[in-house]
């Protein structure tokens, strides 16, 4: 999870960027160093893209940018970063020149991930796990669950590790609970993300409709113990719900939308009815 120091330093970067927009600094920089990937995920189609690489030289040029500081956390990902032909040199360069870097992996090439992690000790290793063995196969198209477990067992204790769970149309809240429990079992951290229709990932399925069921009620109890994950999932529910209504409102009158979904409001006060809200505005 994030430490107090993370909040302070990110907050300072944010305030600094607001007051000095011509000298913006990055608190995080994700480098998609390759489109190469051996997985066949349904939620990400990078593996269908043409093969492209950023060379070590390209990456060094990016790192020389004025908006990158020693406090910028750099994430190495792709595609599957460890498949980059210069993965060794790139991680070696970071270990020697910018230790505040992280590695993201699907762990399918588990020996490579374990070797590189032990040799170059990134400040954090993020490994993807979207459910149990069956769900993994179904969502990622490959039987890779055991590889993830091998990596976690081999490197936990060497570097901080997080399991990265992505809630998507191909898994469920039960899978989320499973992964939270696995993180507890291994004594590692867990980060929860939600499927987004990102153009770089060439996704072709709509985002999850958080309005379709009891979104808040479905969030597993175990997730509530990890505040940031819980807040993120709960807020997604609010955000997508509004987005859905706003899109519907473009084509239907509000009365028709309310006929199907019940009364709703754009006020931040959730116990205030739509009628009260508008009568209060009229009085102002």
Ligand X SMILES: C[S@@+](CC[C@H](N)C(=O)[O-])C[C@H]1O[C@@H](n2cnc3c(N)ncnc32)[C@H](O)[C@@H]1O
Asked whether position 155 contacts ligand X by CB under 6 A, the answer is no
Whether the CB-CB separation of 175 and 135 falls below 8 Å is answered with yes
Which of the ranges 56-64, 179-187, 197-205, 275-283 carries the binding residues for ligand X, by CB under 6 A? 197-205
Which of the ranges 39-47, 58-66, 230-238, 269-277 carries the binding residues for ligand SF4, by CB under 6 A? 39-47
The burial of 108, by beta-carbon neighbours within 10 Å (0-12 exposed, 13-18 middle, 19 or more buried), is given as: buried
- Read off the DSSP letter of residue 47: G
Q: Cβ of residue 210: shortest distance to ligand SF4, in angstroms?
A: 22
Structure tokens at 74: 């750099």
How far is residue 81's CA from residue 84's CA, in Å, rounded to a whole number? Answer: 6
- Count of Cβ atoms closer than 10 Å to residue 206 Cβ: 9
> 252: alpha, beta or left, given left = phi > 0 and alpha = psi -120 to 50?
beta
Asked whether position 78 contacts ligand X by CB under 6 A, the answer is yes
Residue 198 interacting entry, from ligand SF4, ligand X, none, C-beta within 5 to 8 Å by type? ligand X
Q: Which of residues 196-255 bind ligand SF4 (CB under 6 A)?
A: none
How far is residue 230's CA from residue 249's CA, in Å, rounded to a whole number? Answer: 29
In sequence order, what are the beta bridge partners of 73?
28
Residue 47 interacting entry, from ligand X, ligand SF4, none, C-beta within 5 to 8 Å by type? ligand SF4
Q: Which residue number, 16 or 193, has a Cβ lying nearer to ligand SF4?
A: 193
Which of the ranges 6-14, 36-44, 177-185, 264-272 carries the binding residues for ligand X, by CB under 6 A? 36-44
In sequence order, what are the beta bridge partners of 105?
127
How far is residue 1's CA from residue 24's CA, in Å, rounded to a whole number? Answer: 26
Asked whether position 147 contacts ligand X by CB under 6 A, the answer is no
Among 104, 109, 219, 257, binds ligand X (CB under 6 A): 104
Among 31, 73, 78, 148, binds ligand SF4 (CB under 6 A): 78
Asked whether position 39 contacts ligand SF4 by CB under 6 A, the answer is yes
Among 31, 46, 76, 125, binds ligand SF4 (CB under 6 A): 46
The burial of 46, by beta-carbon neighbours within 10 Å (0-12 exposed, 13-18 middle, 19 or more buried), is given as: buried
Asked whether position 135 contacts ligand SF4 by CB under 6 A, the answer is no
Binding mask 242-271 vs ligand X (x if CB under 6 A, - otherwise)? Answer: ------------------------------
Among 75, 79, 122, 237, binds ligand SF4 (CB under 6 A): 79
Structure tokens at 134: 């069956």
Whether the CB-CB separation of 33 and 77 falls below 8 Å is answered with yes
Give residues with Cβ within 8 angstroms of 63, minimum separation 6. 74, 97, 98
Q: Which residue number, 160 or 193, has a Cβ lying nearer to ligand X?
A: 193
Asked whether position 164 contacts ligand X by CB under 6 A, the answer is yes
User: What is the layout of strands, in order, in the sheet containing 189-194?
Assistant: 28-34, 73-78, 101-105, 124-128, 161-167, 189-194
- Which residues in this chain contact ligand SF4 in the complex, by CB under 6 A? 37, 39, 41, 44, 46-47, 78-80, 106
- Which residues in this chain contact ligand X in the complex, by CB under 6 A? 37, 43-44, 77-78, 80, 104-106, 128, 164, 166, 193, 195-196, 198, 201, 203
């Amino acid at each position: 999870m994030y430490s107090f120091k993370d909040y302070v330093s990110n907050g300072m970067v944010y305030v600094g960027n607001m007051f000095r927009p011509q000298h913006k600094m990055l608190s995080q920089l994700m480098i998609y160093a390759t489109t190469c990937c051996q997985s066949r995920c349904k939620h990400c189609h990078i593996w269908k893209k043409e093969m492209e690489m950023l060379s070590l030289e390209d990456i060094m040029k990016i790192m020389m940018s004025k908006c990158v500081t020693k406090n910028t956390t750099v994430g190495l990902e792709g595609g599957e970063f460890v498949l980059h032909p210069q993965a060794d040199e790139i991680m070696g360069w970071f270990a020697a020149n910018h230790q505040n870097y992280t590695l993201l992996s699907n762990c399918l090439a588990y020996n490579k991930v374990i070797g590189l992690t032990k040799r170059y000790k990134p400040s954090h290793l993020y490994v993807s796990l979207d459910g149990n063995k069956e769900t993994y196969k179904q969502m990622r198209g490959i039987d890779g669950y055991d590889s993830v477990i091998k990596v976690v067992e081999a490197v936990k204790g060497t570097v901080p590790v997080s399991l990265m769970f992505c809630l998507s149309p191909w898994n469920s809240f039960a899978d989320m609970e499973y992964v939270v429990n696995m993180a507890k079992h291994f004594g590692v951290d867990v980060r929860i993300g939600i499927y987004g229709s990102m153009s770089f990932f060439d996704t072709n399925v709509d985002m999850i409709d958080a309005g379709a069921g009891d979104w808040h009620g479905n969030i597993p109890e175990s997730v509530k113990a990890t505040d940031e994950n819980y807040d993120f999932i709960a807020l997604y529910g609010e955000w997508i719900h509004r987005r859905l209504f706003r899109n519907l409102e473009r084509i239907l009158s509000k009365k028709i939308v309310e006929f199907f979904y019940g009364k709703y409001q754009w006020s931040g006060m959730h116990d205030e009815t739509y009628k009260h809200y508008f009568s209060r505005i009229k009085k102002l």
